[in-house]
Amino acid sequence: MCVSRSTLTERATLPRAADAWVCDSGAFSELGDHDGWTVSAYAYVRELRRYRDEIGLLVWAGYALVDGVRRKLGVPPGRGAATGKR
């Protein structure tokens, strides 16, 4: 199952997972709606750790680095969006 970060971010209590799941970063919505990130990379990792610990069974989490997102962020190909470094 794939669940978007935006679905979870405002919840005070989180459900427990019955099966493995992945977390979508919601990057395209973030960039489209806000013209940039509303959460830092560090805050995103804190959220993911919370999801891992409270929901459980998190097997993968996305962080958009596709060409369209890179261009919008001004990040050169082959570089990380959060730091601009490999």
User: What is the pTM (predicted TM-score) of this model?
Assistant: 0.72
Delimit the domains of the chain by residue range: 2-73
Q: How far is Cα 7 from Cα 10, in angstroms, rounded to an integer?
A: 7
C-alpha 74: how far from its chain's center? Answer: 18
pLDDT in tens, 32-85: 788 777 888 888 889 999 999 999 999 999 876 666 666 766 766 655 444 444
pLDDT number for residue 51: 97
